[in-house]
Amino acid sequence: MAWRGVIEEYRQWLPVDAGTPVVTLGEGGTPLLPAPRLSARTGCEVYVKVEGMNPTGSFKDRGMTTAISLAKQAGAEAVVCASTGNTSSSAAAYATRAGLRPVVLVPAGKIALGKLAQALAHGATQLPVEGNFDDCLRLARELAEKFPVALVNSVNPVRLQGQKTAAFEVVDVLGDAPDIHALPVGNAGNISAYWLGYQEYAKEGPASRTPRMFGFQAAGAAPLVLGAPVEHPDTIASAIRIGNPASWDLAVAARQASAGVIEAVTDEEILVAHRILSAEEGVFVEPASAAGVAGVLKLAREGRLETGLRIAITVTGHGLKDPDWAVKAAPPLPDPVAADVLAVAEALSFG
């Protein structure tokens, strides 16, 4: 049977009932790709969960199908979110699909073009705010308190419910939980959702155990590592440029209960991982998405990773959302050549 989206595939695990109008774009069912080059570099058995293959190009779609379906069921007519770009793209697509009005608040001038375009294409009212993501989230929460509009950020627990299905999929493919699950951390919803999913599948599902959760923040936006909010978060990984994560306590609890880590990676380490993913593994992601890979490579390099472990790393969003960094990292394009086979062959140093 064709993949039906995460609500139908995992209905028994989700807070939906027979009356829930299922709003889906076919999200989930993303590849868990063996990563031979990353495995060779780390001495571990590494897989990447390619969440850029979701309908709007990021893992946000898993939580948005549940959030929008339940908002629709509750009679909402409009939804609001704050976003660094991916949540807004996803909210815009799913709200439009459901016939609801999407309103998104984004930090002015800080959203990658692909994401800005998506929210516009899906008909969202996209309001740039003179502030950072944390300001946008505060405003979105206040709007949802004072006006008849449903909040679809991950502070809405239904979002985490949908996102936990990614952990189910990893277990369904591997046959059990991996030793380690690594991923980028921004607002800290996703690490919390994975931990929820792994715990549920170990308690009542096919898994015999849970993995250690390894979260990685960008060094300039690493409040969970510092143990205090960062007032002016700064990183090239715009998706995780967040100074005061909403799911702070859940993420810290996941780290503690799983004997995991939450550490920082520099922008340089993120860009190196980004390049390795695209140029060696054939997986094109946006920079923030490479933070989990950067973190695992760093631990391996520092001799802090036991070899032989089975590691799943979530790469969270598609490279086409923010292609600038790929162009910057590559050698410049050669000058144009004449439309002549000899000229082309010469330019390619053939023959």
Size of the site for ligand F0G (CB under 6 A): 22
Q: Minimum distance between the CB of residue 83 and ligand F0G, rounded to whole angstroms?
A: 3
Nearer to ligand F0G among residue 45 and residue 64 (C-beta): 64
220 binds ligand F0G (CB under 6 A): no
Task: Out of 188, 250, 272, 283, point to the residue binding ligand F0G (CB under 6 A).
Answer: 188
Task: Out of 102, 107, 317, 319, point to the residue binding ligand F0G (CB under 6 A).
Answer: 317
Helix H or strand E encompassing 107: strand 101-107
Binding region for ligand F0G (CB under 6 A) out of 28-36, 95-103, 139-147, 187-195: 187-195
Task: Out of 70, 92, 98, 185, point to the residue binding ligand F0G (CB under 6 A).
Answer: 185
292 binds ligand F0G (CB under 6 A): no
Binding region for ligand F0G (CB under 6 A) out of 25-33, 181-189, 194-202, 225-233: 181-189
Question: How many CB atoms within 10 Å of residue 208?
Answer: 11
Binding mask 86-115 for ligand F0G (x = CB under 6 A): xx----------------------------
Nearer to ligand F0G among residue 45 and residue 68 (C-beta): 68
Q: Minimum distance between the CB of residue 316 and ligand F0G, rounded to whole angstroms?
A: 3
30 binds ligand F0G (CB under 6 A): no
The closest alpha carbon to 172, from 342, 338, 6, 346, belongs to: 6
What is the rounded distance in angstroms from the CA atom of residue 283 to the CA atom of residue 135? 33
Structure tokens at 289: 């998405």
Nearer to ligand F0G among residue 45 and residue 295 (C-beta): 295
CA–chain centroid gap for 84, Å, is 11
190 binds ligand F0G (CB under 6 A): yes
132 binds ligand F0G (CB under 6 A): no
User: Beta strand pairing status for 45-50 and 32-34?
Assistant: antiparallel
54 binds ligand F0G (CB under 6 A): no
Nearer to ligand F0G among residue 100 and residue 288 (C-beta): 288
85 binds ligand F0G (CB under 6 A): yes
Binding region for ligand F0G (CB under 6 A) out of 10-18, 37-45, 144-152, 283-291: 283-291
* Dihedral sign, Cα of residue 204, residue 205, residue 209, residue 214: negative
Task: Out of 5, 102, 184, 243, point to the residue binding ligand F0G (CB under 6 A).
Answer: 184
Question: Where does 110-268 show beta strands of DSSP type E?
Answer: 125-129, 150-151, 180-184, 212-218, 261-265
For 267-275, the CB contacts below 8 A with 24+ separation are 267/218, 267/219, 267/220, 267/235, 267/236, 267/237, 269/294, 269/297, 269/298, 270/218, 270/235, 270/236, 270/237, 270/294, 271/236, 271/325, 271/329, 272/297, 273/297, 274/325, 274/326, 274/329, 275/329
The answer to whether the beta carbons of residues 46 and 75 sit under 8 Å apart is no
What is the rounded distance in angstroms from the CA atom of residue 193 to the CA atom of residue 166? 9
What are the Cα distances from residue 280, in Å, to 39, 45, 57, 77?
12, 16, 21, 46
134 binds ligand F0G (CB under 6 A): no
162 binds ligand F0G (CB under 6 A): no
316 binds ligand F0G (CB under 6 A): yes
Q: SS3 string of 261-308?
A: EEEEECHHHHHHHHHHHHHHHCCCECHHHHHHHHHHHHHHHCCCCCCC
Task: Out of 28, 107, 186, 220, point to the residue binding ligand F0G (CB under 6 A).
Answer: 186
240 binds ligand F0G (CB under 6 A): yes
Strand, helix or coil for residue 50: strand
Q: Minimum distance between the CB of residue 133 and ligand F0G, rounded to whole angstroms?
A: 6
Binding site for ligand F0G (CB under 6 A): 58, 60, 83-87, 154, 184-190, 239-240, 286, 288-289, 316-317
